[in-house]
Amino acid sequence: MQLSPAHHDERLSAPRSWWGIAALTGVACALMLLPLGALPPLAGLVGGTALAGMLVSSYGSARVRVVNGSLAAGDARIPVSALGEPEVLEAEEARAWRTYKADMRAFMLMRSYVPTAVRVEVTDPDDPTPYLYVSTREPRALAAAIRAAKDAPAGA
């Protein structure tokens, strides 16, 4: 299926190393329960791994989408008509916007394991959010999708 240029869909999944850490968390839980006999460490291994895995999965389940004339980033939904020109941020510039250039009023979907991002101003005068900062592994594709969605005729 060919996606239109005004469509972008990306899941910011956690890196594989985080899944290894989740497994090691289960091992640590099992070791803590080792003095209690044979069954508690098994429960600690299963329970600790499952809990850590759920945390990694929920953190890595953020989606970034441009569809039907809207940008959906995590829980935020905003029509592209309320957005300005998207700015592609390479690793160093993205780090600057995550730290000392950041505005506390901005919406930021940040993932530490994704070095690049897109920053786009919010042009809606009724919205106090100055800009959106969205971590993405494909910043040029996301910026192009936002531009294409803005240029697309209404209802298309």
Per residue in 16-36, pLDDT (tens digit) is 999 999 999 999 999 999 999
Query: Are 78 and 141 part of one and the same domain?
Result: yes
Quick one: pLDDT at residue 94? 94
Give the residue numbers spanning the domain of 97: 63-151
Other CB atoms within 10 A of residue 149 CB: 24
Whether 49 is in a domain gets the answer yes
35 DSSP assignment? G
pTM, two decimals, is 0.80
Measured CA to CA, the distance from residue 33 to residue 39 in angstroms comes to: 9
Query: What SS3 state is found at 13?
Result: coil
**CA triple 122-127-132, angle to 5 deg:** 35
When divided into structural domains, the chain yields a total of 2
Query: Are 110 and 55 part of one and the same domain?
Result: no
pLDDT per position as a tens digit, 72-97: 998 889 999 999 999 999 999 999 99
